[in-house]
Amino acid sequence: MSAIKRQSAFTRQEVEDFLFEEAALLDEWRLDEWYTLFEPGATYEVPTTDRPNAVPDRSQYYVWDDYELLAARVKRLKSKHAHAENPHSRTRRLITNVRVGEPSGEGIPVRAAFLIYKIRDGNVDSFVGRYEHVLASGDGGLRFRKRRAVLDLEVLRPGGRLSFIL
Q: Is 159 within the bounds of a domain?
A: no
Distance separating alpha carbons of residues 150 and 107, to the nearest angstrom? 19
Q: What is the CATH number of the domain that holds 114?
A: 3.10.450.50
63-121 pLDDT, tens digit each: 889 999 999 999 999 988 777 777 888 999 999 999 999 999 999 999 999 999 999 88
DSSP classification of residue 36? T
pTM of the model as a whole: 0.88
Q: Is 57 within the bounds of a domain?
A: yes
Q: Is 129 within the bounds of a domain?
A: yes
Q: Residue 122 sits in which domain range?
A: 12-151
- Contact (CB, 8 A) for 92 and 115: no
Between these two residues, 160 and 67, which has the higher pLDDT value? Answer: 67
Q: Is 143 within the bounds of a domain?
A: yes
